[in-house]
Amino acid sequence: MTQRNTIYRIFSNGIPPFQNQRCIFPGAGTIKKKILHLQKPKTSDDMKTKILVTSIILLIMVTCKPKTPEQTEQATAAVQTAEYQKMITARVFIKPGKEADFISTAEMMIENSNKEEGCLGYMLYQDPYEKTNFIFVEKYVNQAAIDFHFGTSYFKEFGTLISDMTSNPMEIKIYDIAAEK
Q: Which of 16, 38, 66 is the last residue of a domain?
A: 66
- In one letter, which amino acid is 147? D
The predicted-structure confidence for 54-84, as pLDDT tens digits, reads as follows 877 776 766 665 666 676 666 565 555 567 8
**Domain residue limits at 114:** 85-177
Residues 53 and 123 in one domain: no
* Mean predicted lDDT score pLDDT of the chain: 75
Question: Is the pLDDT confidence value at 16 over 80?
Answer: no
Residue 36 belongs to some domain of the structure: yes
Does 171 lie in the same domain as 95? yes
My answer on whether 55 and 91 are in the same domain is no
Domain membership of residue 79 (yes or no) is no
Domain count, the chain: 2
